[in-house]
Chains A and B, each alone.
Chain A
Amino acid sequence: MIFSIVLTVFLLGLFVYALLQKKQFPLVGRLLPLVALLGIYVAWFPNETSRWAGWFGIGRGVDLMLYVWIMASGLLFLVLHLKLVAQQRMMTDLVRAVALQQVRVPSEPAREA
């Protein structure tokens, strides 16, 4: 009971956070509220997960939750990595623009290779 309340408070916070992110990250804004609502449902009706697990041929509901968690973590890792790549590309463009403004040329033109 206590843990269900704690989990609900946490997931409600996640729900609000996801809605706030909707403009900047549409995918996160759409998916995360659903995940949060599903989490709240599971927090109060844990036996439901065992029924769902049966649909996928998994013995226990807790195992289903674990597998889903692992997949979600992997997806989150990939999304973060792609965001890092996007940031890196912006940094590359910036570094290149700065570097191309400060080209050093040989003082004697005759020395140019």
Chain B
Amino acid sequence: MEPVQIAVVIAAYEEGSAIAAVVEGLRGACRWTIVVDDGSMDATGAVALAAGAHVIRHPVNLGQGAALQTGIEHALRLGATHIVTFDADGQHAPAEIAPMVEHARSSDVDVVLGSRFLGRTVNMPRSKALTLWLAVRFTRLTTGLRVTDTHNGFRVLTRTAAQRIRIRQNRMAHASELLEEIVAKHLRWSEFPVTITYTPYSVAKGQRLLHSVAIIKDQLIGKLAK
């Protein structure tokens, strides 16, 4: 079995106040941390670079999906065997990366999806729980995947999966698109329990119920534009 080379990809937009702690927290958990500064007006890129990350800057804001695809392409060029997508707001636990990657290897799956409902949540707002409950039902209906969580940014892609999946949805609909890609490309997948810690900062940066409508609209338009 080839040695594991983990790259963590973080899409960051105006995360100057939080990104240093996230990048520093990943030290020792991966070979490379890649921060894609998605056209931030603040010092996100400079702060991430100083903290030890590879920094790629989009000159204009494209959205989280576009930023992740950019980061994944860089990770593939670096030679990563496993690519972890990770949120920039500090709600994911770096200590869970190693067991997730090990799960990918031992289970021989292409994609490992973090599930907060198999794991646990800390301080999750009720409105978020309701939104996710609805989103999970919708995702099951549209993709046929029996997932327990959706729009969880904590995932592991093997190199093979990262090469085959192409995220075309620039904004938040990329999370649904990724599941559709799993189905379309016949990739093996499984879920893994993870911990999501909500802070006032991450809640303020997070998605609202109204965003769900925009995500569904983007999904429909994306299908027509294919």
Contacts and interface: CB of A to CB of B under 8 A. Distances in A.
A96 B33 contact: no
Interface stretch (B24-32, B145-153, B154-162, B204-212): B24-32
Contact of A82 (B45, B55, B225): B225
A67 to B, nearest CB: 23
Interface stretch (B56-64, B103-111, B112-120, B187-195): B56-64
Contacts of B27: 113
Contacts, number: 73
Interface string B56-85: 111110100010011001100100000000
Interface stretch (B46-54, B122-130, B133-141, B177-185): B46-54
Interface of B: 8, 23-24, 26-33, 36, 45, 49, 51-60, 62, 66, 69-70, 73-74, 77, 168, 170, 221-222, 224-225
Contacts of A99: 36, 56-59, 70
Nearest to A79: B224
Interface string A74-113: 0000100110011011001001101110111110000111
B70 A100 contact: yes
B52 A106 contact: yes
13 contacts: A78-B224, A81-B221, A85-B225, A88-B170, A95-B58, A96-B70, A99-B59, A104-B45, A104-B57, A106-B49, A106-B53, A112-B54, A113-B27
A109 to B, nearest CB: 10
Q: Chain A interface residue count: which class? A: 20 to 34
Interface in A39-89: 78, 81-82, 85-86, 88-89
Majority DSSP secondary structure for residues of B touching A: mixed
B69 A96 contact: yes
Nearest to B77: A100
A82 B30 CA distance: 39
A113 B59 CA distance: 24
